[in-house]
A and B are shown apart, each in its own frame.
Chain A
Amino acid sequence: MSTHRIKVTVNGTVQEAEVEARLLLVHFLRENLRLTGTHIGCDTTHCGACTVLLDGEPTKSCTVLAVQADGRQVRTVEGLEQGGKLHPVQEGFVEKHGLQCGYCTPGMMMTACALLAHNKNPSEQDIREAISGNLCRCTGYVNIVRAVQHAASRMQET
């Protein structure tokens, strides 16, 4: 198995590593870097629990090789809180009870962040479509939609 030297910027920190060509980005994050907030739910790119931002785009890290992230920017749930201040999406999920078991939550929040970066005032339907690649088995989505709406209004205030 060939190995490759990669350099990935994760949550603002440059991470260099020698990795097997087949190593999945999600395993690189979880096992090499011990950033375990990104979860694995399905292996077939359906559930979105592993969603991270790759150069700002929501990306299912179970279907990306670590070597494909070479030279790129990755943001994970651990990178949402800045200087002790929660991201508005994190606040929204707490305020609106947008999480229960917490397993889909990091991926769901990363997708929401990407949506709000592109669309500052999304409609309910916009939000539902944006998160339709992220499965949640606990909440029934209603409160996740409310959480994202809450975040959107907070971000508009600032």
Chain B
Amino acid sequence: MADTQEPKTDAKICGMGHSMKRKEDPRFIRGQGRYVDDIVLPGMLYMDIVRSPFAHAKINKIDTAKALKVPGVLAVIDGPTLAKYNLHWMPTLSADTQMVLPIDEVMYQSQEVCAVIATSRYAAADGVDAVEVDYEPLPVMVDPFESLKPGAPVLRKDKKDKKDNLAFHWEAGDRAATDKAFASADVVVAEDIYLPRIHVASMETCGCVADFNPAEGKLTVYMTTQAPHAVRTVVALVAGHVGLSEEKIRIVSPDIGGGFGGKVPVYPGYVIAIAASVVIGKPVKWIEDRMENLQADSFARDYHMHTEIASKKDGTMIGLRIKTIADHGYTNASANPSKFPAGLFSICTGSYDFKQAFCEVDAAYTHKPPGGVAYRCSFRVTEAVHAVERIADVLAQKLGMDPAEIRMKNFIPKEKFPYKSVLGWEYDSGDYAPALRKAMDLVGYEALRKEQAEKRARGELMGIGVCSFVEIVGAGPSKQFDILGLKMFDSAEIRVHPTGKAIVRLGTKSQGQGHETTYAQIVAEELGIPAANVQVEEGDTDTAPYGLGTYASRSTPTSGAAAAMAARKLRDKAKKLAAHLLECSPDDLVWEPGKFSVKGSPQRSKTIQDCVFAAYTNYPQGMEPGFEASWYYDPPNLTFPFGSYIAVVDIDRGTGMVKVRRFVAIDDCGNIINPMIVEGQIHGGLTQGLAPALFEEMNYDENGNNQNGSFMDYLLPTAVETPAWEVGRTITPSPHHPLGAKGVAESPTVGAPPAIANAVVDALSHLGVTHVDIPITPEKVWKILKEKGAAE
């Protein structure tokens, strides 16, 4: 376990370990980014969507007469229009089905009802206002527990033979053996832990410009997608019957203003815009407003987890059992690998050496918008980690142990890696105790405990919360991982031009992560070509190699590995070219970043640029000319980043307000490519962990009305609530990744919420409080204080 990593390359080459300034920044700081709403095409039309005010209603009639009289309005597209082309239904990424536009029934509030096409943005909005829809409200099911009860009215009447509202049942582990472990335990504690429905709320909403060129028969769609290649294939599969063939479909993902999983699914709006462009033969732009984005696009979480832990008297954890009811809304539109309907929830044994565990998820249909997506997490890892990290604290509280002590006692020991978890994962590498110790030292743990005791004696409320999480990212190996059958490999293609400058294209797609810099540094590391001379391009399916896109912290584990492997292939070729130029055997050459030299005669050398030039001008007989390589990387395993976080909170007894005074995060993501970018990713992820811990929740009333449908009441943290994050690291390389890297951006979103929740419960533990669900709002805390007689 180390915490520093010396770069192997100099600052000119700028390979791994250099905090290179980002190559994408010059355009962004000048306002020259190109986001989807910046795109204007000749003759472009605008689309706006009529959405249902009811969570469940019969549509008696859609009257478009007035709308069609609005100046500038050209057409209104409704379900029956799309039904003519059999495009009114589409598959979800989880192989469920979803309406594109309804024929006669809406199933959630803000569902798309019909779309207005007009010559301007304002005319389209006028048209939406003028459409008259006659709805007949129907009974609404909002509670997933009620939905799963026998005899509940069946929601998905469109599914033949469906007799209940169970979207799926999934389980992992040995139920009987776990029950036996619980029966033999000295101590068992349980809590009902709810992770509420939240929304990624990227600063840019979703949208597209669909551009069907009738003369060429080619469809180009500029869209906010994290997975352009997968979208192209899905469009070809869904719309093949109307003549859209995959070679005639081009998906372009331009600059994206944040994704966080919310831009993985294919939303109905995209499909309607594509259909409109194909029918009308002109480009059609559709851009959501914020309320549409929050109210209709995929949510995250919404897991009700009954969590139990069994232990010995001394705090040795022996069993974990979690039964989850998941609210999936109207359809299962999760962006999950197909063999994992509950994502990677079975990482729930976390950092601990459990001998037995069992978890199960029952997913319910309700009259809410469909989902779920990740919210900056690798497929339900946040839910799993929250459950185990909360229940570990509940156990410590029950036993009167310190939360750090119980973790240290139960960590998977370093010697056991690679570690096979009881729920079937092979953790690649880890060394958990030093990370926690480092966090404790940085925060001054022992002194804080002393301060807490003094404050408690004075009646002040202060808490310290610990979380030691393990992530599971980089999906994934083809034997287990696919989405709609597409294996989850990813790709890189490197072309080096005669003058030694390179262009690299990949199957992933940055949404702010800094890929243009990071991938350039990987190629610089492996080939010795300065990162400044490596141009990175992603997102255009006509030019980039096939890949499954960017989410679940998979870019560095998959495409990053592919870039390294492709570069190594080229380095082998460069070696042959150097041997040819130096008239020696390749075996006599040694590599140092940027050049090959002859063993024992370092003055006899050829730079990588010399070798590349020779690949076009002076190559040996029989060698294929040119200097290009590609690699499709099928990872042998996932990667398992980890870390330990400590939050310190103060609670105002008068208002119930929780203030995060300090937050220390020690992350281990293996080897680091750009330390500056990694730190930035951790800051951002921590803030997206703070957000659901204290502020964010998407609530619905009993009629299915969204209560947090705009930024007026869906509260994102501002700079004032966000603490000055204190970060540090340990480095435990991945043994199987070519660069030893693991992926990082989601660890902090996973680790921060339980750290903060544990701190709040710690502050209230002497009052007998064992659990508080997030978001921990002032109202929630104040009610507890009032009930316990501790409010001021």
**Which residues of B sit under 8 angstroms from A144, Cβ to Cβ?**
719
Known A39-B257, A42-B710, A97-B680: A47·B25 in contact at CB below 8 Å: no
- The CA-CA distance from A137 to B202 in the complex, in Å, is 6
Q: Contact partner of B203 among A34, A41, A97, A141, CB < 8 A?
A: A41
Scan B664-682; emit 1 where CB is below 8 A from any A CB, else 0.
Answer: 0000000000001101111
Contact call B28/A137, Cβ cutoff below 8 A: no
- The CA-CA distance from A63 to B724 in the complex, in Å, is 31
Which of B410-418, B508-516, B627-635, B760-768 forms contacts with chain A? Answer: B508-516
Scan A94-128; emit 1 where CB is below 8 A from any B CB, else 0.
Answer: 11010111111110010000000000000010011
**Which residues of B sit under 8 angstroms from A142, Cβ to Cβ?**
683, 722, 724-725
B201 at the interface (CB under 8 A from A): yes
Instruction: Identify the closest chain B residue to A36 (Cβ).
Output: B38
A-contacting residues, B1-58, CB 8 Å: 21-22, 24-35, 37-38, 40
Q: Contact partner of B204 among A31, A41, A43, CB < 8 A?
A: A41
Instruction: Identify the closest chain A residue to B712 (Cβ).
Output: A44
Contact call A101/B256, Cβ cutoff below 8 A: yes
Known A35-B31, A93-B25: A101·B680 in contact at CB below 8 Å: no
Least Cβ–Cβ distance between A43 and chain B, in angstroms:
5
Known A27-B121, A103-B258: A78·B31 in contact at CB below 8 Å: yes
Contact call B687/A102, Cβ cutoff below 8 A: no
- The CA-CA distance from A40 to B684 in the complex, in Å, is 21
- The CA-CA distance from A78 to B30 in the complex, in Å, is 6
Tally chain B residues at the interface, Cβ within 8 Å: 59
Instruction: Identify the closest chain A residue to B512 (Cβ).
Output: A101
Contact call B203/A109, Cβ cutoff below 8 A: no
Known A36-B38, A101-B511: A132·B719 in contact at CB below 8 Å: yes
- The CA-CA distance from A135 to B696 in the complex, in Å, is 14
Q: Contact partner of B257 among A35, A44, A103, A145, CB < 8 A?
A: A103
Least Cβ–Cβ distance between A84 and chain B, in angstroms:
11
**Which residues of A sit under 8 angstroms from B30, Cβ to Cβ?**
37, 77-78, 80-81, 90
Least Cβ–Cβ distance between B684 and chain A, in angstroms:
5
**Which residues of A sit under 8 angstroms from B514, Cβ to Cβ?**
100
- The CA-CA distance from A56 to B31 in the complex, in Å, is 19
Known A44-B712, A94-B26, A103-B204: A138·B290 in contact at CB below 8 Å: no
Contact call A100/B680, Cβ cutoff below 8 A: yes
**Which residues of B sit under 8 angstroms from A73, Cβ to Cβ?**
none
B255 at the interface (CB under 8 A from A): yes
Contact call A141/B687, Cβ cutoff below 8 A: yes
A129 at the interface (CB under 8 A from B): yes
- The CA-CA distance from A47 to B33 in the complex, in Å, is 19
B65 at the interface (CB under 8 A from A): no
Contact call A132/B720, Cβ cutoff below 8 A: yes
Known A36-B38, A140-B722: A102·B255 in contact at CB below 8 Å: yes
Least Cβ–Cβ distance between B698 and chain A, in angstroms:
16
Tell me which of A38, A40, A76 has the highest count of chain B C-beta atoms within 10 A of its own C-beta: A40
A5 at the interface (CB under 8 A from B): no
Contact call A43/B718, Cβ cutoff below 8 A: no
- The CA-CA distance from A109 to B35 in the complex, in Å, is 18
Least Cβ–Cβ distance between A117 and chain B, in angstroms:
18
- The CA-CA distance from A101 to B256 in the complex, in Å, is 7
Q: Contact partner of B29 among A30, A99, A137, CB < 8 A?
A: A99
A86 at the interface (CB under 8 A from B): yes
Contact call A140/B684, Cβ cutoff below 8 A: yes
**Which residues of B sit under 8 angstroms from A105, Cβ to Cβ?**
28-29
**Which residues of B sit under 8 angstroms from A30, Cβ to Cβ?**
37-38
**Which residues of B sit under 8 angstroms from A140, Cβ to Cβ?**
680, 682-687, 722, 725
Tally chain A residues at the interface, Cβ within 8 Å: 59
**Which residues of B sit under 8 angstroms from A139, Cβ to Cβ?**
680, 683-684, 687
Tell me which of B28, B33, B719 has the highest count of chain A C-beta atoms within 10 A of its own C-beta: B719
**Which residues of A sit under 8 angstroms from B28, Cβ to Cβ?**
99, 102, 105
B170 at the interface (CB under 8 A from A): no
Known A47-B203, A124-B724: A95·B710 in contact at CB below 8 Å: no
- The CA-CA distance from A26 to B290 in the complex, in Å, is 15
Known A37-B31, A81-B30, A137-B260: A95·B686 in contact at CB below 8 Å: no
Instruction: Identify the closest chain A residue to B683 (Cβ).
Output: A140
B168 at the interface (CB under 8 A from A): no
Q: Contact partner of A76 among B29, B31, B718, CB < 8 A?
A: B31
**Which residues of A sit under 8 angstroms from B25, Cβ to Cβ?**
93-94, 99, 102
Least Cβ–Cβ distance between A145 and chain B, in angstroms:
7
Least Cβ–Cβ distance between A73 and chain B, in angstroms:
18
- The CA-CA distance from A22 to B121 in the complex, in Å, is 12
Contact call A101/B31, Cβ cutoff below 8 A: no
**Which residues of A sit under 8 angstroms from B572, Cβ to Cβ?**
none
A152 at the interface (CB under 8 A from B): no
Known: A94-B25, A128-B722. 7 other contacts (CB 8 A): A43-B289, A43-B710, A90-B29, A103-B35, A103-B512, A140-B685, A141-B683
Q: Can you list 22 residue pairs at the A/B interface with Cβ under 8 Å?
A: A36-B31, A36-B34, A39-B37, A41-B257, A42-B290, A43-B290, A46-B712, A49-B203, A97-B680, A100-B684, A101-B255, A102-B512, A103-B203, A103-B258, A128-B719, A131-B719, A132-B719, A134-B718, A135-B718, A137-B258, A140-B680, A140-B684
Chain B contact residues, CB within 8 Å of chain A: 21-22, 24-35, 37-38, 40, 121-122, 200-205, 255-258, 260, 289-291, 511-514, 676-677, 679-688, 710-712, 716, 718-720, 722, 724-725
**Lowest 3 A-B CB distances belong to which pairs?**
A37-B31, A101-B512, A103-B257
